[in-house]
Structure 1
Amino acid sequence: DNHFYIIFMTIVTLYALFGDDLRILLSPKSGDPIFWGFSVAAMSLFLLELVLASFAQKDYFLGFYFWLDLIATVSLITDIGWIYNEMVGGGDISANNASQASSLARAGRGARVGTRAGRIVRLVRLIRIVKLYKNAHKALEKNAGVDSDEITAEELQQIHAKNDSEKEVEKESYVGQKLSDLTTRRVITIVLIMMFSVPILSLDTYIEEPTSFEWGLQLISKFDDTPGHPGYAQSFNTFVSESDSTRNPIVSLNANGRTFDSTSPTLDELRTIEVLVATYDGDRYVSVHDNRKNIKVSAGLGIGRTIFICLVLTIAAMFFSNTTNTLVIGPIESMIKKVKKIAKNPLEAAQEEENQALARERLNKNESEESKKKRLKAEKDGLYETDILENTIVKIGALLAIGFGEAGSAIIAKNMEKSGDVNPMLPGKKCVAFFGFCDIRQFTDTTEILQEEVMVFVNEIGEIVHAIVDSFAGAANKNIGDAFLLVWKLPDEDTKWSSEENNLTVKPTIRAGQTAEMACISFLKCFGGINKSRNLYKYRSYEKLNERMPNYSVKMGFGLHVGWAIEGAIGSDFKIDASYLSPNVNTASRLEAATKQFGVPLLISGNLRKICTPRTQTKMRVIDIVTVKGSNEPIEMVTCDVRESLIEVEFPKRQKNKSQDKKMKKVRGRIERNRYKQAAMSNQIQVSEKFELDEDIKKLRSPYSKEFFETFKRGFDLYIEGDWMKSQECLNSIEGKLIDNDAPTLLILNYMKSHDFKAPPDWNGYRVLTEK
């Protein structure tokens, strides 16, 4: 399949197709041995190729193309005059035997046989076209594989850049190969059968009508029967003179012993097939004529016929294959392509389909009227079954990706890569991630009041939280009624083995720091998204909710922690969940639960705070150091202060095509997410800039001044050091002066008050968190 070999054999095949006709058209008889030598070389190469292909190519030996190649190779014998002239018989016509009537008659019979055989031989030679077709097909296969179906929408440039870098050379499907090969075989068979049937079923192949030259010889013989008749010489001379004015001028004439030989051309200059011999009364009257004009025309027509058959084979094969490819093979290969994408990365496959759907929608807006009419007509005619099946595969893949999430993508990929039984219970994999846990406040009361509507309520909140987390490179993992588990998994390059902890930990890299900050920022953005939501605003005026919970509004608590976990399938063959098992996941849950005790909507572990940049750490506040139930390791309780009530609801303009605009917004958001993540991971932007640039975050944090943070830190440091009297004085200067109702400040003051503002003798700078 080497390019140079294909080009070389294509040239040899072209010679095999046109060489003999070019020999007759362009070369004199003296040049025949050169062409015969080329034909011997071509035949040898074809034989060598036939033998090598029988060993190297699967299913080639004794197959369809084997027999065609064999016939085409053997047919080259007809182009080798040293062999073919002896097979046809008649030998060579020369001046030495021109005077012998019997020799001329024998040569004439050989010429007739050669002419008749030539009609069949020219058709057999056309089988060589198959070799040309095969070589061309191989060349196309070598150059094939680049998908030219590109989307030109500007927002998809980033996605296509990624796809192009990962794109592999696509191979024709097995079904496509088989069907294309079968179609080609049938086209070749039909065309060759039709071509062969014409001369075989033609009367001219078996019976030749008498020529005018034979009638002239008969006329000469009439006068020759009467000895001394003056008409004999006259008819002889007339025959010679009249023959010169035809397309077949006379070369030699033997009329019962009386002869005539032309000086130009001579018999030595003519090939056997270039002479036309007429006989009468056995061997008594024989005339030889120059038939080169007709032979040259025949050779030219042979070249034209060969080119025509090439075109017919190519166009017919394309025509018959095109409909099948469009209706069957194309959709099947597209389905296979989509299944492979799902197997490789279910999440990306689902997202890519959305991206392409959006791009098609945008291109449809700019399409011409003619193409728009065609598209609408196709939509009106309905989808083919293959289109329905392909769309179903896409939907199933999307549902799998949504149902299993990022944690389950490996389960989907592993099971789709291999055949056989489905095995969802794959071994888990240890990883390091940032785990976020969030909970809807007062959910039990809300459920009792909303009843069936509670599903819509939860989904509306979930849509906001999941969308924001996704926009900051996170992934929704688990939905547990009123709670959501959210994950920012780190790649293996950003983890390391810690001998101190005897486990995987975070490596201090730029990517890890940026990811930690994206997790924090996303939760801050959730406060803004929840309070701005028009869908959630309606619950504030819900009468029954306000009766049970006065001044009701949707509130949530968030906990954020970092650490190792086991990612994998949890459950049985009846039902599995792709999730994470680890004490660190439970810690994130306990942090969220502790937000109620500490009176803040967000609690972050000290371990995560240390991974953030110093710039972001200044935006956070350590509000306590505690040990939680089930652990003796002290944890820094960190918050990022916000006042949710400062965010006002937004009432966006009503959209005509809400569903389509929502889909476009989702895809655009994902594209922006990819750009933002790529820029953050390469340190082109700083995630911490969101604290100064994002309007919602600025408004949420506007009540908290630099003086407040400095004062609280002084009081907190004294609290940790055990100097509670001075800590009390410092913290009391905050309430009512720097800020109102700061729950962490009041909590520490109350705790110190319970001990009469004296640290216990066993005070080590942290306390036990009694509540779960």
Structure 2
Amino acid sequence: CFCLLEWVCPTLAAMENEVLFRDSRDIQPLPEIYEEAKLKNSNMYKQVPDAKYVACPEDIWQPEPSAADEAENTEVKVKTKTQLMMERLKVKMVLVLDHNISLILVFVMTFWALFAEDIMLSVPIQKTVDRPFAYVSLVFLIIFGIEQIARSFAVPEYFGSFFWLMELVANASMVTSLGPIIFNAKSCLEGFVDLSTLSGLSAGSRLARVMRLLRVIRVLRVFNSCSKLRNPENATQKNQQSAIGKALNEKLVRSMILIVIALQLIFPLLSFDEVDDSRTLTFQMLVNARNFSTPEVFDNMIAAYKFFGENTQSGDPYGPKPYDTAFRTLLRISFGPWAQVYYNGVADPTYVKCFSNRSDSFLDCPQLYADSYRCTDLDFISMTTANGEEAEAIWEEQHYDMYIAQYNITLACLLIVIILVMYTALSSDVTSMVVQPIESMVGLVKKLSENPNYQLEGQSKSKYETEAVRIALAKIVGLMQLGFGGAGHEIISANLANEEKPGLDLMLRGKKKDCAYGFCDIRQFTDTVECLQDQVMLFTNSVGEIVHQSCHDNRGEPNKNIGDAFLIVWRPISIGDHSKVVDGALTAFRRCVREIASSQTLQLVTNVEAIHKKFGRNKYRTKLGFGLHFGWSVEGPVGSPTKIDCSYLSPEVKISDRLEAATKIYSSNILMSGQFYDLLSDHIKVGIRLIDHVTLKGGVKPFRIYADDRSNLWLKINPRLVEIYGAEAAYEQFSKTFHEGIDAFIKGDWSTAQQKLEGARDFCPKDAPTLLLMKEMKKRSIDPVTPTAPVDWKGYHDSEV
């Protein structure tokens, strides 16, 4: 006999007057040729209505309307509308505050608050710019305050937080920059105590340094803002940062700020700072010597006081010296009515009234003093002599203040660099080692909730615990996907997306779907298990690998493994996808037949002595039967909270099982229903023939059964006819003759059917469908000589399938 393992038949030409029987419902009828046949014999096809294939609608649950009264509903609507408006306002405010223009403005204002005052003091510029500088600082302070208030409103968790308090203190520290607006710039004598306090603050006192340091906090925000402007992709990821990432970064910044502040406060307490009181003590000695010295001696003492007080290292205390080399310079010294004013380091009687007017300190002073010196540049030393006279020395410390301002700028820059380096280094380590792995796992869970088929990227080694957790997560997800299968996607997605319920929600409502079902079974499995014993798992898994991989490559989803049987489901995405689905299902099973027949692994596993004794030496072949059907089913979980299986429930699913069982009767590897066949593409239908029209056991609905001769290992053609016609022509003639025979069988013309089927038997003497039809006609014929259909013949018969 000639075995048609890889035979490919050309497209069968439709014969004139050829009529194919249709299922009673849910099938699209054939066009012209079907209509002509129906007109000729309407009684034969009166049970066939027009098909109406409609996709299953999605089950959508809608809540019942509330029973609350109209007034309550109106109040709720008003509240909801107000809340919605507030939420929209907050979102818009956050967008404005985080806009690029706003971030650039904060960048400019932050560095103004940090450096503007010190830059103004670090260079010798006229004090007329003080008030404009102060007004700019006032405007920026107001903007900072508005920003803080707006952010507190838009982001409730920001209000009262650590950063909110630090911003508040940083804003308060800017008040020290408003001296030219708050105090009278001309009067240095009336408020010289307050002015000296401000001078101490701006000169670098400990409290001022700490308060100024708090402004550096804004630099972190500016740094993040610049990062967003440079890399928008990172900015998007920042906006989607996880809660743990935000919390860790906030704690990191908070710890760094507190540590730096603590160091600024504690280190000065642990170190010995020698206070320079030399000018005050020397002036005290000068005051004491006022009443006990001659005028010449006292003048020499004043000259020495002036010389050494200006920190001159060498030179004649009684001779001239360069004025601009002095670190501090004496401007005025007075004892009661006597006063001496120095201009360019030389006593000048012209300006003897300088600094004597309390309402305008710079009245009658040199223009240089009035234009250049600020009240904060002056150090007032005031004492009372033994005879009750007021003694006063006024020192100019502008150069010293310039040095302190330059020191503050350097310190602020150093602190900014230290904080940014610390933040970048620590944040990078924390992010890469903790935050990113956790966020990656959270992202994977979200992706799995959206697409349960998402495949996690593998990782071979784990250096840290977080990587080990991710590897374990990938394995758990893989096992979960394998265990639940395609039918369990809904359960996986629903439970991963639901963050409110701590437990599992397994009892979900099922969904009705139109699917293609494929059922396959391993032949002679019981005897094979007895022979293979502990090798049966290798055998079964080898078969399962071939079946699953073939179906997976053709969009199939393995659903059930029942020892020797497998259920595969093909789920269409849309109505237009039905044809592609059934094409893929048949292609997958055709591939299974070929690969199982040629599998070296299965041949090695079954090449054991027990198999040879049971089935004969080299006679055992691994064979499977396949059944295909298309219909509806309900997809969902089946079971209890203790154990569930995700499956498809419907009588339609069972039909594929019944068709697979019929492969033993019809001696065919692949059988399919009429519903499945009618959805196949024309080029896929080549090599498929209608072999029977029956009702399944216990049913009343007739089904057309089709066999795939392309993958039928039992189909043998008479070799003598192969030599005469050739393989392809011989099969074509066989198929044509058989088709005429079964068509006559269905119509009730059994005498013609008998003739045609006998002709088909000549081509394939052992073709099971041919023999079964002839046996059925002989069994039910009302005439023992000439096959005649019963009077109540409806075109189909009962079967044991």
TM bin (shorter chain): 0.7 to 0.9
Task: Confirm or deny that 1:286 pairs with 2:393.
Answer: yes
Q: Which residue of 1 aligns with 2:791?
A: 762
Distance 1:295 1:431, change over 3 A: same
Q: Which residue of 1 aligns with 2:568?
A: 486
CA distance in 1, matches of 2:642, 2:440: 32
Task: Confirm or deny that 1:21 pairs with 2:137.
Answer: no
Deviation at 1:185, TM superposition (A): 0.7
Task: Confirm or deny that 1:266 pairs with 2:373.
Answer: no
Instruction: Calculate percent identity across the aligned residue pairs.
Output: 28
Deviation at 1:517, TM superposition (A): 0.4
Structure having the larger proportion of residues in helix: 1
Q: 1:390 aligns with which of 470, 478, 482?
A: 470
Deviations 1:81-131 (A, max 9, x none): 235657xxxx6478xxxxxxx899989967864666655324312211113
Q: Which residue of 2 aligns with 1:347?
A: 453
Alignment of 1:501-512 (within 5 A): 509=576, 511-512=577-578
Q: Tell me which amino acid in the other structure corresponds to 2:670.
A: L
Q: Which residue of 2 aligns with 1:32?
A: 130
CA contact (8 A) 2:118 2:408 kept: yes
Which moves more between the two structures, 118-127 or 757-766?
757-766
SS in 1 for 2:514: strand
Distance 1:342 1:228, change over 3 A: closer
Distance 1:312 1:230, change over 3 A: closer
CA contact (8 A) 2:196 2:379 kept: no
Q: Which residue of 1 aligns with 2:748?
A: 722
Q: Which residue of 2 aligns with 1:441?
A: 523
Which moves more between the two structures, 743-752 or 230-239?
230-239
Q: 1:242 aligns with which of 321, 342, 357?
A: 321
Deviations 1:261-290 (A, max 9, x none): 34573344212333466789876463544x
CA distance in 1, matches of 2:424, 2:376: 38
Root-mean-square deviation over aligned CA pairs: 3.8
Distance 1:246 1:214, change over 3 A: farther
CA contact (8 A) 2:632 2:650 kept: yes
CA distance in 1, matches of 2:742, 2:479: 49
Task: Confirm or deny that 1:583 pairs with 2:651.
Answer: yes
CA distance in 1, matches of 2:321, 2:198: 23
Distance 1:234 1:138, change over 3 A: closer
Task: Confirm or deny that 1:210 pairs with 2:297.
Answer: no
In the superposition, the TM-score normalised over structure 2's length comes to 0.72
Alignment of 1:404-415 (within 5 A): 404-415=484-495
Distance 1:25 1:752, change over 3 A: same
Higher Cα radius of gyration: 2
Q: 1:545 aligns with which of 602, 611, 629?
A: 611
Deviation at 1:193, TM superposition (A): 1.7
Q: Tell me which amino acid in the other structure corresponds to 2:159.
A: F
CA contact (8 A) 1:173 1:333 kept: yes
In the superposition, the TM-score normalised over structure 1's length comes to 0.75
Alignment of 1:615-634 (within 5 A): 615-634=683-702
Aligned length: 645
Deviations 1:633-673 (A, max 9, x none): 221111211356699xxxxxxxxxxxxxxxxxxxxxxxxxx
Alignment of 1:559-578 (within 5 A): 559-578=627-646
Q: 1:750 aligns with which of 775, 782, 788?
A: 775
CA contact (8 A) 2:687 2:710 kept: no
Q: Tell me which amino acid in the other structure corresponds to 1:745.
A: T
Deviations 1:35-67 (A, max 9, x none): 110111122222223333343323333332222
CA contact (8 A) 1:539 1:545 kept: no
Distance 1:740 1:113, change over 3 A: same
Distance 1:229 1:591, change over 3 A: closer
CA distance in 1, matches of 2:203, 2:434: 46
CA contact (8 A) 2:670 2:711 kept: no
Distance 1:143 1:409, change over 3 A: farther
Distance 1:704 1:326, change over 3 A: farther
CA distance in 1, matches of 2:297, 2:465: 90
Q: Which residue of 2 aligns with 1:130?
A: 217
SS in 2 for 1:179: helix
CA contact (8 A) 1:604 1:639 kept: yes
Q: Tell me which amino acid in the other structure corresponds to 1:560.
A: L
Q: Which residue of 2 aligns with 1:533?
A: 599
CA contact (8 A) 1:93 1:267 kept: no
CA contact (8 A) 1:426 1:569 kept: yes
CA distance in 1, matches of 2:339, 2:579: 114
CA distance in 2, matches of 1:552, 1:627: 34
Alignment of 1:121-200 (within 5 A): 121-137=208-224, 171-199=240-268
CA contact (8 A) 1:218 1:280 kept: no
CA distance in 1, matches of 2:522, 2:248: 58
Which moves more between the two structures, 245-254 or 324-333?
245-254
CA contact (8 A) 1:331 1:387 kept: yes
Q: 2:143 aligns with which of 45, 48, 53?
A: 45
Deviation at 1:515, TM superposition (A): 1.2
- Note the residue ranges of structure 1 that are not aligned, 5 or more in a row: 95-101, 149-166, 362-378, 495-508, 648-700
Q: 2:177 aligns with which of 71, 79, 90?
A: 79
Deviations 1:306-350 (A, max 9, x none): 2221222222233334443344333332332333333333332xx
SS in 2 for 1:265: helix
The structure whose RCO (Cα within 8 Å, separation 6+) is larger is 2
CA contact (8 A) 2:378 2:394 kept: no
SS in 1 for 2:704: strand
Q: Tell me which amino acid in the other structure corresponds to 1:718.
A: A
Deviations 1:163-221 (A, max 9, x none): xxxx99873222222222112111101111212334566655x8324259969996997
CA contact (8 A) 2:201 2:208 kept: no
- Note the residue ranges of structure 2 that are not aligned, 5 or more in a row: 1-93, 307-315, 345-365, 716-726
